Structure 1
């Protein structure tokens, strides 16, 4: 169900109390969905958090538990908490590419864009296979925020090279090109998006349908 839980609850309340302003709440939740934890994630990770906290308390030197707990906090849209754990873990392993990648994600989500970009660059500099292309997507998102569209285009190109079935990658590549006035190559990216969409199995379509919808409004 994910975020649909929020939407359905708001719609049920609207039906029960006949208050149109509740529809505004649905719009707000949609716009802030990147900052509001998915209710399914909250339930799924509750026990995991307790276990990892216990492991860290028993062994403060447990870098793996800190990393895994940081991942959970990122899933829960709690990047500041994740960043504290990652900084502690990196005191022991400052050049671990996965820790650098996660640090970059957390920094980006706290709007520390320049440090985030450096962390992501360092991660793939140490091991280009880190995150299977995800650092390039995250770097592209940061570069779009910084309005460095040519660099963002390069990052998204790297991302789709590794994840050619990622609809979000083609969408973001099209946007980066469009921002530079490269309408022809932006259309090429959208063509790749549509062609890729047609080949995706249904379970992947369910995960990526929002990006397909967004692509209809690019250009």
Structure 2
């Protein structure tokens, strides 16, 4: 299980889209980290996890809980404030941790809450920049923000696996730039026919097994 923890302070909740994008970038960050392959300290855990179901869970923390989580090995990724009323003041923060079996998750994160991650966008989203990968969310599904964050992480991971080594290096050099948007019904139908990576959820929580949740539209995968 790969655990992501989103920081949710009492008076500083991240915007929905910023949280989704930051979670996806956090997954990419740990996939690309030198500790995750070769002789790296996380390599065995990462390989075992990727060879199995790439399950992810998103939890929330604040204050002392966040500080304790940050003290554990992992990577903190900062958002860009997309959708936030005050982007710089309320940018999302997500920390991703090396995967562990469910029964050995460190207490500092095992005891954190899953609920309470329902975020909203306070302002209109900007247009997606040309050439930026887009993770398209299924418009017909209702998911909590935490569930959607995990699904966007899955989609980013599927795109990463499908890319060439050169394309991966380019994405990493761009700080894993990406956008998350909800597709229209017409867009979703077209995307399903495109052959792009699509997340099909196992249905452990919130939605029906087999539900297709997010499609990863990376320009390099359309060539």
TM-score interval (norm. to shorter): under 0.3
Bigger-Rg structure (1/2): 1
User: Which structure shows the bigger proportion of residues in helix conformation?
Assistant: 1
Which of the pair has the greater relative contact order for Cα pairs under 8 Å at 6+ separation? Answer: 2
Q: TM-score, normalised by structure 1?
A: 0.23
User: Which structure shows the bigger proportion of residues in strand conformation?
Assistant: 2
